[in-house]
Amino acid sequence: MDAAWFEAKQPVVGIVERTRTDGSDDADTRSIRVDDALEATLESADATSVCGDLEAVLAAEPSLLVAAGESTLSAVARANPDVPVLPVGNVPGIDAVGHDTLPAALEAALTGDGTIRQRSVLGVDVDDTTRDSERSPVRALFDVSLVTDEPARISEYAVSSRGDLIATFRADGVVVATPAGSHGYASAVDAPHLSPAVDAVAVTPIAPFVMQTRQWVLPEDGLALTVERNDTAVRLVVDDRPVATVPVDATVTIAVDGTLSMLAVSETMLESD
C-alpha cells in the first residue's frame, strides 16, 4: 500500500555511490553528482547530505537514501535499511527519476510530496549440508537464477510451490523474478511481466530443451528449486551476483524476506517545478 512520507526536521540525505557487480551492465552508468541544483535543494529544505559507499552512508543514519542503477539498488536491498530510497536512472521495473530531474524529485520528497511504495525482497537460501546452517538468506530485489557454468550444457531442474511439485524440465537454467525483476533480465527469456500490485513471482526456464516448456506465476513464498541432474556445475545467481554452487539434490528455498521502501514522485510534481 502506498503511503506519504515526510521528514520534519533537518533531514539527512544519503547519496550512495554506484555499486557494480562482476559482469553487471546497468543501462544507466552515471553516478549522482552533488551539483549546484542539488545543493540548492538541500539548502532550501534545511537538509544535509552524506556521500560515499553504502556502509559509510548508513553509518551516518540518513533520513532517506538516493541510489542510482540496478546494482546499487540491489546492494541497498541486501543491507535492509529502515529508511526509504529514491531510485535514480534507467532501471527496468522500477519507478525511478532521471538524473536531470533529481533535484526537483528530491525537493518534492523533502517537502512531503513523495509517496512510499513497498517492493518485496526475496530471501534465498540453500539447504545443503556443506553450507553453514547459521548463514542468513541472501536477499534479492530483482531475480534469482540457477544457471549452468558452461553455456549450452543442459541440466534438469524441479520447481515446487508450497510443497507441491509444479514441474521438472531440462534447460540451461531457471530464473525466478520479482515484479521488478520481471521487466529486466527475465524478460529476455520471455518471462511474464508482473505488476507490483501482485504478490507473486515469475518462474521461467532458461533455454529449455523442450521449447513448449511452460512459464509460471507463483506465490512469492514457499518456492523451492532443485537441481535434479547436472553434467556441469550449477551456480546460484542472486541479482546478478554469483553466490554459491548448488549440487544435485540441494534445495534452494525462496520466500519473502521483508520489503524495500521506495520513494516515488509524480510526474506532475516534476513538471510543475
- Give me the count of residues in the chain: 273
Residues 235 and 244: beta-carbon distance below 8 Å: yes
Q: Are 201 and 217 in contact (CB under 8 A)?
A: yes
Do 3-119+260-271 and 121-258 show the same overall fold? no
pLDDT in tens, 1-46: 577 777 768 899 999 988 765 444 454 556 788 788 899 999 998 9
Calpha distance 72→20 (Å, rounded)? 7
The three cell numbers of residue 21 are 557487480
- Given this structure, which CATH class describes domain 3-119+260-271? alpha beta
Does domain 121-258 fall into CATH 2.60.200.30? Answer: yes
Cα–Cα distance, 39 to 156 (Å, whole number): 54
- Domain segments of the chain as ranges: 3-119+260-271, 121-258
Query: CB-based contacts of 40: which residues, under 8 Å, 6+ apart?
Result: 103
For residue 7, CA distances in Å to 10, 12, 51, 146, 252 come to 8, 9, 19, 41, 40
Per-residue pLDDT of the chain in tens (273 residues, 90 and over written 9): 577 777 768 899 999 988 765 444 454 556 788 788 899 999 998 999 999 999 999 999 999 999 999 999 999 999 999 999 999 999 999 999 999 999 999 999 998 888 999 999 999 999 864 554 456 789 999 999 999 887 666 789 999 999 999 999 999 999 999 999 999 989 988 899 999 999 999 999 998 987 677 899 999 999 999 999 877 789 999 999 999 999 998 999 999 999 999 999 876 556 654
CA–CA dist 3, 116 (Å, integer): 5
How many angstroms separate the most distant Cα atoms in the chain? 61
pLDDT tens profile 235-266: 999 999 999 999 998 999 999 999 999 999 87
| Residue 143, C-beta contacts closer than 8 angstroms, at least 6 positions apart | 175, 176, 177, 178, 181, 184, 185, 186, 238, 239
